[in-house]
């Protein structure tokens, strides 16, 4: 049954310790996770696995940032419906993120892992 299908979240975050903590917290709440550390790697995993939701850092290594990836996703007729939550240290980019198409904006230093997990669960419903 489709309703019983486990939800999958792609966490695109280059800070390994934070990414691992987020993954651990999400998996405690029965959410499957996929990880990527660059926008390019994230883009491949999105196309291959079509996650239920994406947690996307803005500042990423490798030349392509999170905003670039978000813009690409929102231009893709198949992938544009995947909800994206921006997760960043930049408190000043909320407007840009929502204009491009993010459904939520989390400033890392202002939120706990429990709150991140709660926001993810709320957006998955």
Domain of residue 93, residue span? 2-124
**How far apart, in whole angstroms, are the C-alpha atoms of residue 82 and residue 21?**
23
| 107 phi and psi angles, rounded to 5 deg | -90, 115
Number of residues that make up the chain: 125
Q: pLDDT tens digits for 48-103?
A: 999 999 999 999 998 999 999 999 999 999 999 999 999 999 888 999 999 999 99
| Confidence band for 1, pLDDT divided at 50, 70 and 90 | very low
We report the CATH number of the domain holding residue 66 as 3.40.50.2300
Count of structural domains, the chain: 1
pLDDT at position 5, please? 67
Q: pLDDT tens digits for 10-59?
A: 999 999 999 999 999 999 988 999 999 999 999 999 999 999 999 999 99
pTM of the predicted model as reported, rounded to 2 decimal places: 0.93
- Structural contact between residues 13 and 89, judged by C-beta atoms closer than 8 angstroms: no
Q: How far from the centroid of its chain's Cα atoms is residue 57's Cα?
A: 7
């Amino acid at each position: 049954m489709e309703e019983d299908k486990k939800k999958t979240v792609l966490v695109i975050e280059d800070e390994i310790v934070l990414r691992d903590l987020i993954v651990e917290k999400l998996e405690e709440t029965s959410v499957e996770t996929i990880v990527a550390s660059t926008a390019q790697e994230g883009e491949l995993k999105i196309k291959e696995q079509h996650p239920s939701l994406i947690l996307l850092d803005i500042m990423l290594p490798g030349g392509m940032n999170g905003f670039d990836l978000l813009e690409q996703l929102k231009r893709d007729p198949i992938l544009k419906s995947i909800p994206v939550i921006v997760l960043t240290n930049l408190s000043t980019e909320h407007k840009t993120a929502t204009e491009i198409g993010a459904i939520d904006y989390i400033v890392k230093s202002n939120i706990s892992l429990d709150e991140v997990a709660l926001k993810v669960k709320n957006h998955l419903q």
